[in-house]
Amino acid sequence: MAELTVEHLEVRYGDLIGVADISLRVEAGQVVALLGSNGAGKTTTLSAIAGLIRPSRGRIAWRGETISGQPAYAIVSKGLALSPEGWRLFVNQTVEQNLRLGATVLAGRARIEALFERVYALFPRLAERRRQSAGTLSGGERQMLAVGRALMSEPRLLMLDEPSLGLAPAVVETLYDKLDELHRAGLTLLLAEQSIPLALGMADYAYVLQTGRVALQGPAAELERNEDVQHIYLGIRGGARTAVETAAETDGSRAGETKR
C-alpha cells in the first residue's frame, strides 16, 4: 500500500482552475519530485494534500484513509507536514517559538525537547540563533527554520515547496545535504522544485506537471536522460531543437512560402 495516493485531483479558485487532473503515488521511504514551471500546479497540489485548500474533485488518501477536505491540523497530526514556499514564519517570534509551534499537534509533550535537539543537531545555525527573532535571519536560515518547524510535528512524510528558491548555491547544497540525511534516516519526502538537476539528483520517482496536469512521469534516473523534461515541459532551450520549436519553424516557413 502506498503511503500517499492522489487520484484525479482538481482544485478550483472560483472560475479559475489551479489543478485540472493530477494523480500521483508516494511509497514509504521514497523521495518523489514534482517538477514544473510557475503555474504548473505544484504548490496547489501540495496545499491540497496538506489541507490548506479544499479539492473540488478527486481523492487524497494517506495510508489507505481518505483525507480529502480534512483540516490542516488533522492532516499534520496524521504524520504529513509541509514546509511551504516563502517560509511563512512568524517573523516577530524567536526561532525557538517558531519551532515550538510546529509541535502543537503532538499528543505527548515529552517528545518536544528531543525534537528540539534533533532539529538543532540537523541545523546548528538555528541552535545558535534560537533566541533571535525569525525576522532577523538570512534567507538560508529562514528556510532551515521552515524545514525545522515542519520536522517538529514528527512527520512520516515531509513535503517541501520550492526549498531552493532564492537561495545562494552554497546554501542550497547544504540544505539538500540535510534533506538527504533525513531521507537516509527513513523520512519520506515529496519535493516540489523548478530546478531539474536538484530534484532528479535526489528523487527516486518524478512527475512533470504542465498546466495542472501530469504531463510526464517515471523513475528519476530515466527522466534525467529525457530531453522532453527540459525542452518541452519546462520550456528550457538547449542545443537540440524541441518538437514545439521545430513545428513553429515549419509553420513559419510555410507561411513565408504562401506569401511568396
Read off the pLDDT of residues 41-94 as tens digits, 9 standing for 90 and up.
999 999 999 999 999 999 999 999 999 989 999 999 999 999 988 668 999 999
Q: What percent of the chain has pLDDT over 70?
A: 87
By CB neighbour count within 10 A (0-12 exposed, 13-18 middle, 19+ buried), where does 92 fall? exposed
115: which 3 cell numbers? 525534537
Averaged confidence pLDDT in the chain: 87
Q: What is the pTM of this model?
A: 0.85
> How high is the pLDDT of residue 233?
60
Q: What is the pLDDT of residue 85?
A: 82
The whole-number pLDDT of residue 107 equals 67
Within 10 angstroms of residue 146's Cβ, the number of other Cβ atoms is 24
Give residue-wise pLDDT tens across range 142-198. Answer: 999 999 999 999 999 999 999 998 888 999 999 999 999 999 999 999 999 988 888
d(CA 36, CA 102): 28
**Residue 155 confidence (pLDDT):** 95
Judged against a pLDDT cut of 50, whether residue 246 lies above it is answered with no
What pLDDT does 111 receive? 84
H helix count then E strand count, the chain: 11, 10
241 DSSP 8-state letter: P
Res. 260: pLDDT tops 90: no
Half-sphere exposure of 161 (CA within 13 A, CB side): 22
Residue 243 has pLDDT above 50, yes or no: no
Q: 3-state DSSP call for residue 246?
A: helix
